[in-house]
């Protein structure tokens, strides 16, 4: 069951300074007398609803998203129940502020807007005492850890310890979208230096001002962290987040069968993208095997999506080799083909027999794909000629511009719909507003990982599974696609409304937990009513009497 922290003997100012327990002006008259709060608060007792109204008034009068981000993070540091009530009741407005795209700017400016520490910072100087650092965390029932080394933050590159904004933001979404209790969440940054020259010269940079640690010393620190977590937080799942390509694939491969872990950039992105493809198939009226996919970008996200599409194609009866031929990649050097000698290991399964092509538009014309999936971090690379070519080649071209934040998107929603004459099936990584084209309103889908990873995490917690598998992301993708309504599709939306995200997460969690029990990945007894068991885990940010 989800935890209900008591007061732990806290009174007075100590209670007001604990964000998990603090209710601010909503402490009742009786609580003020009993807990030594009389005189420490304004006289009038507020309701949580009144506090929410005050917060919204303050947020909405701010003139920039980064100021709104700072305000919300400060609220989270003061009163977590109130923070989550505001976010959950206004998710479409708040998600872009607490996560993409605003969190990107928040990370870039992290050392300059830093207010209060949140999470654990582990440096290479802590080797040999990582377990001691983990024990410094005040909560013991940790179930979800998001860890980064800050090398590849969104599409922004190496931000070092400033990348802590990502684990903090991701775990906020675990709570807001799937109801994982805040005290069960732990953000971690492995501060192993940075190669970002601007940060190294910045006197307000919060991390170790040295170049990145590599090689055996890096691996030893990661291993000490993973084994320490397994010892101190034995029911925790470790989500790898925003590691550089080489380390991300390597670490996932090394630990996936040794620990309860997954990489959201590889597997979560794959799940949400495949769900979008399955929704698009309901519009095009054909099968996955009728399509050819061309990726712009062959890093973690691209290869992860390709691998999960291959899984879907194999379910339709294709061999693995046949399925891989449906997925083509363009990286910074051009089309990934067999004749290239510069390919790293994770690209080799998709190096097909084809002449060298260095231009993306030329690759579109040569391969004639039905779908483009952009995960390059290179803005405006789905150019007008590229989109027009896709519209010429396909009745309903599929265009997924998934790079984050918005400034890195391969094209905008307006460009996709306008250049395709309203025929594109479009999704982006960060949100775009609705588009009017020739009198019709199009609501662009947001291929946000928040549709997938919170539900997967909740399923992991509900089942106490020992491992997270690729199959779990496949069932998560199919579950998400099944939740898209005909009304959604009619508006051009290939994902459910964010207003339904908690129901979506509960459905995904139930499917993931069911798979864990089916595959024998847990020693827990299967609940009689699995869906009810999942929902019973979900935290509601309401004030409790005496807490």
CA-closest candidate to residue 75, choices 120, 116, 27, 15: 116
Read off the tokens for 488: 């959604």
d(CA 466, CA 546): 36
- Six token digits for residue 394: 């396909």
Q: Distances from the Cα of 154 to the Cαs of 63, 196, 269, in angstroms? A: 24, 15, 12
Q: Is there a catalytic annotation at residue 99?
A: yes
End-to-end CA distance of the chain: 18
Per DSSP, the three-state class of 18 is: coil
**Looking up tokens 């061999």, which residue turns up?**
319
Which entry of 23, 68, 84, 170 is annotated as an active-site residue?
A: 170
Q: Where are the beta strands (DSSP E) in 352-406?
A: 371-374, 398-401
Alpha helices (runs of H) in 148-207, residue ranges in sequence order: 165-178, 197-200
- DSSP codes of every residue in 509-529: HHHHHHHHHHTT---SPPPSS
Query: Closest Cα to residue 87, out of 403, 499, 510, 544?
Result: 499
Buried b or exposed e, range 457-481, using 16+ CB within 10 angstroms = bbbbbbbbbbbbbbebbbbbbbbbb
Instruction: Pick the catalytic residue from 84, 99, 255, 543.
Output: 99
Instruction: Note the residue count of the chain.
Output: 547
CA–CA gap between residue 537 and residue 535 (Å, rounded): 5
- Please state, in angstroms and rounded to a whole number, the distance separating the CA atoms of residues 24 and 19: 10
Cβ pair 272, 451 in contact under 8 A: yes
In 124-214, the DSSP E strands lie at: 144-148, 185-191
Q: Using an 8 Å Cβ cutoff, are 527 and 475 in contact?
A: no
- Report how far apart, in Å, the C-alpha atoms of 152 and of each of 16, 202, 221, 245, 246 are: 37, 19, 19, 8, 11
Q: Tell me how many degrees the CA angle 403-73-509 measures, rounded to the nearest 5.
A: 60
Return phi, psi of residue 304, to 5°: -60, -45
CA dist 499 → 55, 309, 442 (Å): 20, 27, 18
- DSSP, collapsed to helix, strand or coil, labels residue 317 as coil
The two tokens of residue 429 are: 């990584």
Q: Which residues are catalytic?
A: 99, 170
């Amino acid at each position: 069951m989800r935890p209900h922290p008591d007061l732990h003997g806290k009174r007075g100012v100590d209670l007001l300074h604990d964000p998990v327990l603090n209710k601010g002006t909503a402490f009742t008259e009786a609580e003020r007398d009993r807990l030594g709060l009389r005189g420490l608060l304004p006289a009038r007792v507020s309701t949580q609803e009144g506090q929410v109204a005050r917060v919204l008034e303050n947020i909405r009068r701010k003139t920039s998203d980064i100021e709104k981000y700072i305000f919300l993070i400060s609220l989270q540091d003061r009163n977590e129940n109130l923070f989550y009530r505001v976010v959950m009741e206004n998710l479409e407005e708040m998600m872009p502020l607490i996560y993409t795209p605003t969190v990107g700017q928040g990370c870039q400016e992290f050392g300059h807007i830093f207010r209060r520490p949140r999470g654990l910072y582990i440096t290479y100087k802590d080797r040999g005492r990582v377990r001691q650092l983990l024990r410094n965390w005040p909560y013991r029932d940790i179930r979800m850890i998001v860890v980064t080394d800050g090398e590849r933050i969104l599409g922004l590159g190496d931000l070092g310890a400033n990348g802590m904004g990502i684990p903090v933001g991701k775990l906020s979404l675990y709570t807001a979208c799937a109801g994982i209790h805040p005290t069960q969440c732990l953000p971690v940054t492995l501060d192993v230096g940075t190669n970002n020259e601007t940060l190294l010269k910045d006197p307000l940079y919060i991390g170790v001002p040295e170049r990145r640690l590599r090689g055996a010393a890096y691996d030893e620190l990661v291993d000490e962290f993973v084994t320490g977590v397994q010892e101190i937080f034995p029911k925790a799942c470790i989500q790898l987040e925003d590691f550089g390509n080489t380390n991300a694939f390597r670490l996932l491969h090394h630990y996936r069968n040794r620990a309860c872990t997954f990489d959201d950039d590889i597997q979560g992105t794959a799940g949400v993208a495949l769900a979008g493809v399955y929704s698009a198939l309901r519009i095009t009226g054909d099968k996955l095997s009728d399509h050819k996919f061309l990726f712009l970008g062959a890093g973690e996200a691209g290869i992860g999506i390709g691998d999960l599409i291959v899984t879907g194609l194999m379910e339709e009866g294709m061999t693995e080799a046949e399925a891989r031929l449906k997925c083509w990649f363009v990286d910074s050097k051009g089309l990934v083909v067999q004749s290239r000698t510069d390919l790293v290991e994770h690209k080799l399964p998709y190096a097909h027999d084809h002449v060298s092509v260095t231009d993306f538009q030329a690759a579109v014309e040569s391969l004639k794909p039905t779908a483009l999936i952009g995960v390059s971090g290179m803005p405006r690379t789905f150019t007008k000629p590229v989109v027009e070519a896709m519209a010429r080649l396909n009745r309903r071209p599929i265009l997924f511009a998934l790079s984050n934040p918005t400034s890195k998107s391969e094209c905008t929603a307006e460009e996709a719909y306008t250049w395709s004459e309203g025929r594109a099936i479009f999704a982006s990584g960060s949100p775009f507003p609705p588009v009017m084209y020739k009198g019709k309103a199009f609501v662009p889908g947001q291929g946000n990982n928040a549709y997938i990873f919170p539900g997967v995490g909740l399923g992991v917690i509900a089942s106490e599974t020992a491992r997270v598998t690729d199959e779990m992301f496949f069932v998560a993708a199919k579950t998400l696609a099944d939740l898209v309504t005909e009304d959604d599709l009619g508006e051009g939306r290939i994902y459910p409304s964010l207003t339904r995200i908690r129901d979506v997460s509960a459905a995904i969690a139930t499917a993931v937990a069911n798979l864990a029990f089916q595959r024998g990945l847990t020693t827990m007894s299967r609940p009689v009513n699995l869906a009810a068991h999942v929902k019973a885990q979900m935290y509601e940010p309401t004030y409790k009497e005496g807490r």
